Amino acid sequence: MNTLSRVRKLYEQWLQDPNIDNGTKEELKAIEGQEKELEDRFYKDLEFGTGGLRGVIGAGTNRMNVYTVGKATQGLAQYLLENNSANPSVAIAYDSRNQSPEFALESALVLAGNGIKAYLFDSLRTTPELSFAVRHLQASAGIVITASHNPPEYNGYKVYGQDGGQIVAEQADRIIAQIQTLEFANIRKLTREEAEAKGLLQWIGQAVDDDYVKAVIQVSPRPEIAKQEGAALNVVYTPLHGSGNITVRRVLQESGFSNVHVVAEQEKPDGQFSTVKSPNPEEREAFTLAIELGKKVNADVIIGTDPDCDRMGAVVKNSEGQYEVLTGNQSGAIMVHYLLSSLQEKNAIPSNGVIIKTIVTSEMGAEIARSYGVEVLNTLTGFKYIGEKMSEFEQSGEHQFLFGYEESYGYLAGTYARDKDAVVASMLICEAAAYYKSRGQTLYGVLQELYQQFGFYREVLESRTLKGKDGLAKIRQIMEEWRQNPPSDVCGKKVKTMLDYTQGINGLPKENVLKYRLDDDSWFCLRPSGTEPKIKVYFAVKGKTLQQSEEQMEELRRAVMSRIDD
């Protein structure tokens, strides 16, 4: 059966299926005859990967809707019932995105329909608090409804294991095997009233919040600094219409940061993210309103968190007094230095301490860590791999986890959770700013000192968005072209090694990633995004001066991207 015939068949099945509501059927009838739109909605099932589901909201097999969410949850329920002891339970949270509450409740009611207890937060919460809640409530698994920093038309469904970390490939494969056996008629669910009456839907809130906030604040390496100097630090914060507003502000306030100005236009939850092109703290545009407020109040530091509050971006004044958005690598390097210097002052760096980062994260933080005698480990891209290592070390005692981070603005200190946490990152960057301010320094000045000591590292991420079926094929074509025909040199620099991670390098899981190291220790890496229709290209150089590193970077980017675009 060709693709068009399959699409037409699935479309008709949805229109005739008695398990699908009339509103969904009307949405589908409205696109009758729009072949390209129909193909995009039905040419495949929305893929359940190690990150769960993520896609555009709407009717169809390749869309986020209550039916794709219901099938995923039914598959998860069957997996839990087959692989867990008696009385499994699942914690569920959701962010500010469109239909997040509906998808969260649907998940809870399907779990209840399978006799599995659902702990559902009574309003939106952050992803890291969900990770904490799974561990805190000793749940069998967790679900969070979010599409992180994707555009507003997206939503997603992430699954967490018993340790509070995102499920890894082996778990995902077993859940997928369950999902693939299902039709909509197989989905078992209760009504809300039935689930509550049977004790299979339990609402959670303030008590879990209190314990989570306490756990975050306890991570502080210098709690006395916020108490003594916090009021003198001028902070601007934007939650970018997401779930971080209440929790970030509470943690900052209880730590001692009383001078926090919130961007009013971006304070309230808004699934359309109406004041930004993208609710992504990696983008300078997302900080436009925050920087305007920062100028008015003379902020020492500006922080922003994404919709599910697992990514934190920071903005600081440079030597000319202009606000500059730090990269994830720069913020990470500052936090590694601050955390380890604080522990060193108290002679508290453990002999088996470890920093964990990803293969596309800068080596600068690693060099800083090693200068303190701390080991650094690399994982594949995705915080789930960092969380997996944390749980492994918790069991073995081989290492004591100190800090984990990735270049895409994800950080975690402490072991209360197994996912990146913008709440603890906000606290740490503010604490570092307060500490250095008390010593007459700025975060930007500290960063320059680190460059002088360790080298002028420069990293850049380029991406190309290629949507739909044709885009997916193009991304595969690009990766295969670079794999089969690797360059021998780039910009006159010899390619020293090509690392093809589909081969399972250094004991890491197999993944479609290519990394090329040049003989001047610069590198670049090609990786299809796991959550968006993009191919991502990471670049890193190290120069003796800022100007030299910028020139090296521009030359490397131009050479690689011209081949990709061709």
Catalytic residues: 148
What are the structure tokens assigned to 150, written together?
A: 């994707």
8 Å CB contact between 423 and 504: no
End-to-end CA distance of the chain: 33
Closest CA to 455 of 339, 549, 325, 359: 549
CA 66 remoteness from chain centre: 23
The pair phi, psi for residue 377, each rounded to 5°, is -115, 150
Q: Using the structure block, give the residue that is written with the tokens 């479609």.
A: 512
Q: Report the alpha-carbon distance of residue 116 to residue 222 in Å, rounded.
A: 42
8 Å CB contact between 129 and 208: yes
Count CB atoms within 10 A of the CB of residue 396.
8
Q: Report the alpha-carbon distance of residue 238 to residue 216 in Å, rounded.
A: 19
**Amino acid identity of 76?**
L
Q: Using the structure block, give the residue that is written with the tokens 């869309």.
A: 63
The pair phi, psi for residue 508, each rounded to 5°, is -80, 155
Closest CA to 305 of 424, 417, 216: 424
Q: Report the alpha-carbon distance of residue 507 to residue 255 in Å, rounded.
A: 40
Angle at 505 between CA 502 and CA 507, to 5 degrees: 115
Task: Map residue 56 onto helix, strand or coil.
Answer: strand
425 Cβ neighbours under 8 A, 6+ residues apart? 312, 331, 335, 411, 412
What are the structure tokens assigned to 543, written together?
A: 């120069």
